[in-house]
Amino acid sequence: MRVVLVGYMASGKSSVGKLLSKELQLKFIDLDEYIEQQQQKSIKTIFSEKGEVYFRKLEHEMLSKVLDENKALILSTGGGTPCYGRNMETILQKSDDSIYLQLSIPALVERIKGEKEERPLVKNIDDEDLPEFIGKHLFERRPYYAQAKHILECDGKDLETVVTEIKQRLL
């Protein structure tokens, strides 16, 4: 079984993926961490040294590689992964289940406020400008996320609840 988690930055893809994989006893890969290990550099450094286009190319290659090499896994993607280079098509073709962890703009703003530093796309945005930035960005990205097989509303839900609800969808 291959399960892919998609969603905006800070929607909980990594924490949900980790706990879900533990409970289902499946291998877990976080695509950002995988890229960092392969490159021996943080995402932040890859963006600053080589730029976003280079990162998207790597992300595209690594997504296919990970899905081709693992027939059973939980994969957490980066917030932009489904939105570039036909990656969402790849996700839909090569996974059994894909899940969009959907959060509202206010919920995302609250989460991202405290976690901007490691995220190159938002690190220079003032907190007061985050609602507008995230609103526009999500408007562009949502059509990709929404292609996932399951859409899970996550506002106000803790990690355990989200994982339990995903397991119910997978059964």
Q: Which residues bind ligand S3P (CB under 6 A)?
A: 9, 32, 43, 78-80, 119-121
Q: What is the Rg, in whole angstroms, of the alpha carbon atoms belonging to the chain? A: 15
* Cβ proximity to ligand S3P, 35 vs 163, nearer residue: 35
CA distance 33 to 16: 15
In whole angstroms, the minimum distance from the beta carbon of 171 to ligand S3P comes to 27
Q: How far is the CB of 140 from ligand S3P (least distance, A)?
A: 11
For 81-107, the DSSP string reads GGGSTTHHHHHHHH-SEEEEEE--HHH
Strand partners, 151: 100
Q: In the complex with ligand S3P, which residue's Cβ is closer, 59 or 163?
A: 59
3-state DSSP of 18-36: HHHHHHHCCEEEEHHHHHH
Tell me how far, at minimum, the Cβ of 39 lies from ligand S3P, in Å.
13
Q: How far is the CB of 115 from ligand S3P (least distance, A)?
A: 8
Q: Which is nearer to ligand S3P, 103 or 168 (CB)?
A: 103
